[in-house]
Structure 1
Amino acid sequence: MTRLQSTFAKGPALVCFVTAGDGDTAAILDALVSGGADVIELGMPFTDPMADGPAIQQANLRSLGAGTTTADIFHIAARFREKHADVPLVLMGYANPMITRGPDWFANECRKAGVDGVICVDIPPEEDPELGPALRAAGVSLIRLATPTTDAARLPAVLEGSSGFLYYVSVAGITGLQQAAQASIDEAVARIKQHATIPVAVGFGVRTPEQAAAIARVADGVVVGSALVDLVAQHGANAAGPVRELTRALADAVHSARSG
């Protein structure tokens, strides 16, 4: 089993997102793990993060302003893998930084750094050859996104060639600004699970343990990003403590659904 498969096999997983190069990333990643995060998404900063709301846009700008490069991100990933052998690590970002040196280069760097999966926001299934074959050849999961507008006709294309987990974006629009009604999440997850053979994780707008627990009762994973990125913005170099605290509360809520 892969790290992602064995993690989701334990029950609902807490997936935590932070932006690489925003604050003391190594300390923040350690805080996520010690707080109980099951899967970590590491955002690759980009100049035009079109799917992200103000919190993650500002995190991108802070990281790029500090000079973060793709090489830095792989260095962070490799050090993380040395310290945390069993925690899945996923890179999330946009096509330009991923394919500028060629998809094979990027996929091999992921493999060497111990990256388990990649989420590319702006490569749709129809453009899978841009990155998908290279990732699969390197043993790296291509994790795709589904949204409220992904209907039954399109879902098979989204699932084809996808592995690790499916990320269900629970609201149409940008990250962090709104939270979907739980009833709509329940319906969407049930519908997707009729077709999906991989775990389904739900994100966008999840900020509290109560929201996370409700989603964990129906989904295989809960993704939290903007709430954590806000803490990094607020606390800067001292963010690790507050990040660990929020992660622990979220993890307890998600994991309690395993026996609920």
Structure 2
Amino acid sequence: MTRIDDTFARLQASDKKAFVSYIMAGDPDYDTSLAVMRGLPAAGVDIIELGVPFTDPMADGATIQLAGQRALDGGMTLEKTLQMARDFRTGDTTTPIVLMGYYNPIYSRGVDAFLVAAKDAGIDGLIVVDLPPEEDEELCIPAQAAGLNFIRLATPTTDDKRLPKVLTNTSGFVYYVSITGITGAAAAQATDVAPEVARIKAATDIPVIVGFGITTPEAAENIAGVADGCVVGSAIVAQIADGKPVEDVLAFVKTLSDGAHRA
């Protein structure tokens, strides 16, 4: 049982939906992003997705691309991202952390060395968007052997033929991408999401969390209401990009988590 598994068990026992928030490590700088991260649990965040900045983030829209560029310009690296997790863990040993990013920095570090470092830093799960199920031997299976959840994305184009392959070796939760395209590109609609979530849940017992296109407390409530929870990323990152003080960013996050938890 990972912290992710424990969190979903606790939420389900309380008949609550999960609220997951994404931030980019090192955006706009190390200290500010760490301060935001440390405040997320008190703002109602159940699981933290921590973005690893990368030079070619093909799944991300402009908001998160720019966040990654700001982080890279400030000297952020994979190792510093892991250090950020270690720093967070000095004050919080229970909130799950999921690293979200791309395979190149992990490959460059070396899979075995990365997994040891990630586990030591208190990472609970990985989302690596450019490694399909056909490449499970590369990272997914070694990660799970090391005690890390490997979280897979399903999308509106994941048909019934492809879905079993996507679900194979997936653990922690399934991340359903509510729209086709990149992050921050359109608004998620519960009426479109509900039948897709039901289709996935018919094929797996793993929780299904919905992300992309959720920007308001109302949207968080509506989407969480048809799934096991929701993820918000771009809307939070945009607050940071606007230079909002940490306390204002966290107050905004609280409105979103309150919406998801009302579902």
Matching residue within 244, 249, 253 for 1:247: 253
Unaligned ranges ≥5, structure 1:
none
Aligned length: 255
How far apart in 2 are the matches of 1:94 and 1:72?
16
* Structure 2 residue 27 is the aligned partner of structure 1 residue 19: no
Tell me by how many angstroms 1:31 deviates. 2.2
Which moved further from structure 2: 27-36 or 141-150?
27-36
- 1:202 Cα deviation (Å)? 0.1
Q: Can you list the C-alpha shifts for 1:12-65, whole angstroms capped at 9, x where unaligned?
A: 110000000102111010221221100000000000101100000000100000
CA apart distance, 1:88: 0.4
Output the CA distance in 1 between the equivalents of 2:109 and 2:62. Answer: 29
1:222 and 2:230 correspond: yes
CA pair 239-99 structure 1, distance change in 2 beyond 3 A = farther
Check whether the contact 1:170–1:202 (CA below 8 A) recurs between aligned residues. yes
The residue number in structure 2 matching 1:6 is 6
Q: Deviation digits for residues 124-145 of structure 1, max 9, x if unmatched? A: 0011111112211210010000
Once the two structures are superposed, the pairs formed by residues 44-63 of structure 1 within 5 Å of their partners are: 44-63=52-71
Asked if structure 1 preserves the Cα contact closer than 8 Å seen for 2:52 and 2:99, the reply is yes
Report the Cα distance in structure 1 between the residues aligned to 2:106 and 2:79, rounded to whole angstroms.
Answer: 11
Kindly indicate whether the alpha-carbon contact (under 8 Å) linking 2:53 and 2:69 is maintained by their aligned counterparts in 1.
yes
Of the structure 1 ranges 101-110 and 207-216, higher mean CA displacement relative to structure 2 is found in: 101-110
- Aligned with residue 121 of structure 1, among 129, 134, 145: 129
Q: Report if aligned partners of 1:99, 1:131 keep a CA contact under 8 Å in 2.
A: no
Q: What TM-score comes out, normalization by structure 2 length?
A: 0.94
Q: 2:247 corresponds to which letter in structure 1?
A: G
Are the aligned partners of 1:28 and 1:239 in contact in 2 as well (CA < 8 Å)?
no
In the aligned structure 2, how far is the partner of 1:37 from the partner of 1:252? 9
In structure 2, C-alpha distance between the alignment counterparts of 1:21 and 1:34, rounded to whole Å: 20
In 2, Cα distance between equivalents of 1:173 and 1:242: 29
Cα pair 1:175 1:226 within 8 Å, conserved: yes
Amino acid at match of 2:77: T
User: Secondary structure of 2:136's partner?
Assistant: helix
2:55 and 2:143 map into 1 onto residues whose CA distance is 24
Question: Is residue 2:158 matched to residue 1:150?
Answer: yes
CA contact (8 A) 1:3 1:87 kept: yes
Shift of 1:191: 0.7
Do structure 1's residue 207 and structure 2's residue 215 form an aligned pair? yes
Find out whether 1:65 has 2:63 as its counterpart: no
Q: CA deviation at 1:249?
A: 0.8
Residues in 1 aligned to 2:68 and 2:23: alpha-carbon distance in whole angstroms: 10
Measure how far apart 1:240 and its partner are.
Answer: 1.3
Q: Alpha-carbon deviations, 1:149-201, whole Å to 9, x = none?
A: 00111111111111110000011100002013221101100111000111000
**Pairwise CA RMSD of aligned residues?**
1.0
- Say whether 1:86 aligns with 2:94: yes
| CA–CA separation in structure 1 for the residues paired with 2:185 and 2:40 | 22
For 2:38 and 2:89, the matched residues in 1 are separated by 11
Contact 2:20/2:47 (<8 A) preserved: yes
Work out whether residues 31 and 243 of structure 1, in 8 Å CA contact, stay in contact via their aligned partners in 2. Answer: no
1:194 aligned to which of 198, 202, 210: 202
For residues 224-254 of structure 1, give each alpha carbon's deviation from its aligned partner in whole angstroms, at most 9, with x where no partner exists. 000000011001xx53112211111111111
Q: CA deviation at 1:120?
A: 0.1
Q: Which stretch shows the higher mean deviation, 23-32 or 116-125?
A: 23-32
Within the candidate set 97, 102, 105, 2:110 is matched to 102
**Given residue 3 of structure 2, which amino acid in structure 1 is its aligned partner?**
R
TM-score (norm: length of structure 1): 0.95
